[in-house]
Structure 1
Amino acid sequence: MAVIGVELAGRGYDVQVGHGLLANAGELTEGFIRKDRVAAVADRNSHRAHGQQLEHALAAKGVSIDWFITQPGEGAKSWGVLEKLLDWLLERGVERGDHIFALGGGVVGDLTGFAAAVLKRGCGFVQIPTTLLAQVDSSVGGKTAINTAAGKNLVGAFHQPALVLADTGTLDTLPPREMGAGYAEVIKYGILGDRTFFEWCKENGAKVTARDPAALEYAVTQSVQAKARIVAEDERETTGTRALLNLGHTFGHALEAETGFSDALLHGEAVALGMVLAARYSARREYISLDNAARITAAIDKAGLRSEIASLGLECSGDQLAAHMLHDKKMDAGTLPFILLRGIGQAFVDKQVDMADIAAFLGEQLQAH
């Protein structure tokens, strides 16, 4: 087991990574439970797969669980579900000193974290991520949000968890496609800031997605350590350092929007495509070589992830994809910063990108291959 500290001024917390943590959740979360009942949020799938184990772990400490169950998928990150969750928490008398448990993937963590942020102006929550994507990315760092008609994650708050338990054993129930989507966020850390880890991912990506225990724990631990360093330096994304974590996301969110934020393109799959596009656009701007862009594309492709947006069969133009980006929450004074690359492991923020050129580039990519 690995324990990674997320060091924030006066309110750091631990991320524990290992196999079998859920079975010991009663002991590991004991310091965050004040009553004989806790409120927990899960989607239908995570509750079915892991809810009973969490119940047994807490029951060993004399604690029972009240469950709020959502439907799986991005649809749960909505005003309507948030309102129902908040009313449910208030009905159960959840207080500011209590901790809400979030058992599931990134959607559950985002929804629960945002509810915790606004309930009585802020109460605690414990993240128990059960997808690879959530374990290496969304459960760490305190970004919480819901989606709106205008776009993804546009209403939210920075609200850090009190503890993250990343039990790699929970990934045994994930479909292969979900493992691949999570792996995109793993290799992202190599592409944006650690060429050595990128090379490791190229050689070991298949082991990670096949759930090899050693490779999986190493990948999750390295990813969390990388994110913890960045979050500690720039918690609220004000200096530009944390913005690097958005590599692939601006392109990816546009693709998600065009596919209706549906299962046609999972978030991690969109990020993988977005990183390919960011690499190719970096080469277009002559920041990196075509060879390096091709190496990133090959690494994404080797992991079994989509590397060509033409494969989505979208009936849209580059202008339409670029228009989705104008709703991005990172828009500032009418400009949209892009995370581009000066090399593998050398991401940077470019605030001088011409959206007309982005539209032309995306139009070319839609027609390629």
Structure 2
Amino acid sequence: MKLTVHLDKNSYPIYIGSNILSQADHYISEVFSGKKIFIISDDNVFPLYGEALIQTLSGYECHSLVLPHGEPTKSFESLPKIYEAMLQAKISRSDLVIALGGGVIGDLAGFAASSFLRGIKLVQIPTSLLAQVDSSVGGKVAVDLPQGKNLVGAFYHPRLVLIDPEVLNTLPKRYINDGMGEVIKYGCIKDAALFYTLKTCGSFEALKPELASVIARCVDIKRLVVEQDQFDTGERMLLNFGHTLAHTIEQYYHYERESHGEAVAIGMYQITRIAETCGLTAPGCADEIKSVLTAYDLPHASGLPIEDLTAAIKLDKKNLNSSLNLILLHTIGDSYIHPSDVGFFQNAGTV
């Protein structure tokens, strides 16, 4: 299956298909005519798929850098190591960077590609469910700072995204759950039918026959939103549903307790619960979300008093001029932007 993100000169194709990784050379040759490729991956993914990818790219001079897995790698401190390795490989502006991994590698490698020599061509090959349905598409690349997540970043679109659902078979269950947090998000904000498909299936195993179409549906929703709002000033903000609380929970625990998708799950339920008490969301939506989160082994509460999170919320990059653009639901499948401030959370209690 092929989808295209239409952004004038920044347009790019997304291919989704089983075992597409084994044909990477064919797809890459459509968007890259150079000779040298620099692959950035991590120590979980590269042993599984790195050598196979390099073999398919035998017509190119390939270099690789393998980084430790996990969110702490997505830090400003990782960038000098990447730049040094790219310099040693003599990467030029006519060469290509491939991000082979999950969301951390996609964001980090993407930011390195955007900033090295003022921009190197980039291909995203996402290997986690979360990266396949969300972070590999849309051109957001970033690194974290100690004060918050994704505070240094850029909009930098890839030339190509290759999505192979077969690689998910090697993912640990927690990483599947992590990705399902973002899949559920798409149902909540834009597609009630997707949400109720997830609810009806009731488990990842039951969902597997539908997985390629579910991934494609999530990617298509993101594609349409990004086309309307490339730089995250309007419609694209809807993709941040659950993220204001999620980012602060992740940061509070130094990215060591909840994964991103788990934190998003908590954020979606808690913000909907609060919105219901304010009459801003239809009654029962929070319970609907909670039931689907539970079915896919995702949490709905962090156990933290909201006071512990408000300082981080104030630093969140979506907090502009002391106002927050919160993403709420009218009902399942129908989201909207609600201008507010940190006071929205003041009576939330424990989240």
TM-score (norm 2): 0.96
1:269 alignment partner AA: E
Check conservation: 1:32, 1:98, Cα contact below 8 A: no
Q: Is 2:321 the counterpart of 1:333?
A: yes
- What residue in structure 1 maps to residue 184 of structure 2? 187
1:36 to partner: Cα distance? 4.1
Check conservation: 1:183, 1:205, Cα contact below 8 A: no
Q: Is 2:339 the counterpart of 1:346?
A: no
- What residue in structure 2 maps to residue 243 of structure 1? 237
Tell me the secondary structure at the aligned position of residue 16 of structure 2: strand
- What residue in structure 2 maps to residue 4 of structure 1? 3
- What residue in structure 2 maps to residue 258 of structure 1? 252
Tell me the secondary structure at the aligned position of residue 29 of structure 1: helix
Alpha-carbon distance change, 214 to 14 in structure 1, aligned in 2, over 3 angstroms: farther
Alpha-carbon distance change, 349 to 212 in structure 1, aligned in 2, over 3 angstroms: closer
Structure 2 spans left out of the alignment, 5+ residues: none
Moved over 6 A (4+): none
Give me the whole-angstrom Cα distance separating, in 2, the residues matched to 1:16 and 1:308.
Answer: 36
Question: Please, which of 66, 71, 74 is the counterpart of residue 71 of structure 2?
Answer: 74
1:309 to partner: Cα distance? 2.4
Paired residues for 1:268-287 under 5 Å: 268-287=261-280
Tell me the secondary structure at the aligned position of residue 154 of structure 2: strand
Check conservation: 1:282, 1:342, Cα contact below 8 A: no
Give me the whole-angstrom Cα distance separating, in 1, the residues matched to 2:344 and 2:181.
Answer: 26
Check conservation: 2:98, 2:124, Cα contact below 8 A: yes
2:331 alignment partner AA: G
Q: Per-residue displacement from partner, 1:161-218 (whole Å, max 9, x unpaired)?
A: 0000011111111001100110111111110011111111211352xx3386531101
Give me the whole-angstrom Cα distance separating, in 2, the residues matched to 1:24 and 1:128.
Answer: 12
- What residue in structure 2 maps to residue 104 of structure 1? 101
Q: Is 2:209 the counterpart of 1:221?
A: no
Q: Per-residue displacement from partner, 1:99-127 (whole Å, max 9, x unpaired)?
A: 20110000101011111111111121000
Tell me the secondary structure at the aligned position of residue 149 of structure 2: strand
Which stretch of structure 1 is more off in the superposition, 22-31 or 128-137?
22-31
- What residue in structure 1 maps to residue 131 of structure 2? 134
- What residue in structure 2 maps to residue 143 of structure 1? 140
1:23 alignment partner AA: S
Structure 1 spans left out of the alignment, 5+ residues: none
1:29 to partner: Cα distance? 0.9
Tell me the secondary structure at the aligned position of residue 323 of structure 2: coil
1:9 alignment partner AA: D
Q: Is 2:85 the counterpart of 1:88?
A: yes
Which stretch of structure 1 is more off in the superposition, 135-144 or 273-282?
273-282
Q: Per-residue displacement from partner, 1:60-89 (whole Å, max 9, x unpaired)?
A: xx2242111100011111122111111221
Q: Per-residue displacement from partner, 1:207-243 (whole Å, max 9, x unpaired)?
A: xx338653110110000000000000000012x1000
Question: Please, which of 205, 226, 235 is the counterpart of residue 210 of structure 1?
Answer: 205
- What residue in structure 1 maps to residue 122 of structure 2? 125
Alpha-carbon distance change, 211 to 172 in structure 1, aligned in 2, over 3 angstroms: farther
Paired residues for 1:10-49 under 5 Å: 10-49=9-48
Alpha-carbon distance change, 225 to 357 in structure 1, aligned in 2, over 3 angstroms: closer
Alpha-carbon distance change, 303 to 173 in structure 1, aligned in 2, over 3 angstroms: same
Check conservation: 2:34, 2:96, Cα contact below 8 A: no
Alpha-carbon distance change, 200 to 179 in structure 1, aligned in 2, over 3 angstroms: same
Tell me the secondary structure at the aligned position of residue 215 of structure 1: helix
- What residue in structure 2 maps to residue 323 of structure 1? 311
Percent of aligned pairs with the same amino acid: 35
Give the superposed CA RMSD: 1.5
1:33 to partner: Cα distance? 3.9
